[in-house]
Amino acid sequence: MRVLMVAPPGAGKGTQGALIAAHFGIPHIATGELLRDHVARQTAVGQAVQTYLDRGELVPDRIVLDMVREEMIAAKAAGGGYVLDGIPRNMEQARAAYQIGRELGMTADVALHLQADDAELTRRLLARAALEHRSDDTAQVIAQRLALYREVTSPIIAWYRDRGILVSVDAMRSAQEVGREILVALEAMRPFLEHAPADERVPLDLTGLGEAFGATGSAAGISE
Ligand code: ADP
């Protein structure tokens, strides 16, 4: 299973990425985590990126792509699956990630898009700020990160829809409900991924499921 996630800050990429990784036994490659780890260890990369992280700006593509290439090579050695969390964040990174995937024979099967609105995302990030102490979880930097997502990151979603690998999920529900829907969708796709050529795939939009089944807070129509 090879998944990349496109989602605004606070939508739950970290939580759902960890869930998918554990479920399929594949590495979770989270660029934000890797960068924060460099900052904490005060490596050369850490010193170069700290200001970008503190301000909620994107660090230069080259730094992130070098890091991700290394992680993808390790993922290949570990069996070939992966969950990419935090990349791509712009069109250049989307093309570069695809290129790295092509070179390694492991392009993404699924682009998982988590949808949530800015009011809910801001609420979640401010709540998290009280628990963790991330330098970028302040009201001002949160607004900057959300604006950057809407302007620079979200346009790449159309590219994945055109490639037929987009799966959109409504992330305005509990982490447990969203996680269950993601795993059900990925499990349902698994047999096709193993057999269908990449150019025969169609995009999957699950965001209307909850409403269609009249679900209010349950697992959006997925019965147990
Ligand atoms: P969030 O999605 O909540 O903003 P992340 O942990 O994914 O959290 O990212 C935190 C910060 O790390 C970003 O604001 C940015 O500065 C940097 N970053 C992470 N991934 C990338 C990337 N692919 N390209 C550029 N900068 C990145």
Give Rg (Cα) of the chain: 17
Identity of residue 207:
T
Say what angle helices 44-55 and 61-77 make with each other, to 10 degrees: 120
How far from chain centre, in Å, is Cα 10? 11
pLDDT band for 219, please (50, 70, 90 cuts). Answer: very low
User: Does 112 contact ligand 1 (Cβ within 6 A)?
Assistant: no
| Confidence bin at 211 (pLDDT 50/70/90) | low
pLDDT band at 48 (very low <50, low <70, confident <90, very high): very high
Helix intervals (H) in the chain: 13-24, 31-41, 44-55, 61-77, 91-104, 118-131, 139-148, 156-163, 175-195, 209-212
Question: Cα(72)–Cα(78) distance, rounded to whole angstroms?
Answer: 10
Q: Report pLDDT digits (tens) over 9-29.
A: 999 999 999 999 999 999 999
Extract the tokens encoding 80: 């070939």
**Cβ of 124 less than 6 Å from ligand 1:** no
Q: Tell me: the pLDDT tens digits for 110-164?
A: 999 999 999 999 999 999 998 998 899 999 999 999 999 999 999 999 999 999 9
Write down the pLDDT at residue 218: 42
pTM comes to 0.88
Q: How far is the CA of 59 from the centre of ligand 1 (A)?
A: 8
Q: What pLDDT is recorded for position 200?
A: 63
Q: Across the chain, what does the average pLDDT equal? A: 91
Span of 96-105, 109-118, 168-177, 202-211 with lowest mean pLDDT: 202-211
153 lines ligand 1 (CB under 6 A): no
- Give the Å distance between the CA of 44 and the centre of ligand 1: 18
Residue 212: band (very low, low, confident or very high) from pLDDT cuts 50, 70, 90? low
Distance 58 CA to ligand 1 centre (A): 6
Q: Is 59 in the pocket of ligand 1 (CB under 6 A)?
A: yes
- Choose one of 53, 122, 133, 137 to mutate for the ligand 1 pocket test, by most ligand atoms within 8 angstroms of C-beta: 53
Segment 79-93 shows an average pLDDT of 97
- Interatomic CA distance for residues 158 and 186, integer angstroms: 20
Phi, psi of 48, rounded to the nearest 5 degrees: -70, -30
Is pLDDT above 70 for 214? no
Q: How many CB atoms neighbour CB 86 within 10 A?
A: 23
Residue 191 pLDDT class (50, 70, 90 cuts): confident
From the CA of 10, give the closest atom in ligand 1.
3
> For residue 194, how far is its CA from the centre of ligand 1 (angstroms)?
31
Name the DSSP letter for residue 198.
Answer: G
Q: Are strands 166-170 and 110-115 parallel, antiparallel or unpaired?
A: parallel
Distance CA 162, CA 32 (A): 27
Name the packing angle between helices 175-195 and 13-24 (round to 10°).
50
DSSP 19-32: HHHHHHT--EEEHH
Residue whose entry in the numeric block shows the structure tokens 């795939």: 201
Q: What is the pLDDT of residue 63?
A: 98
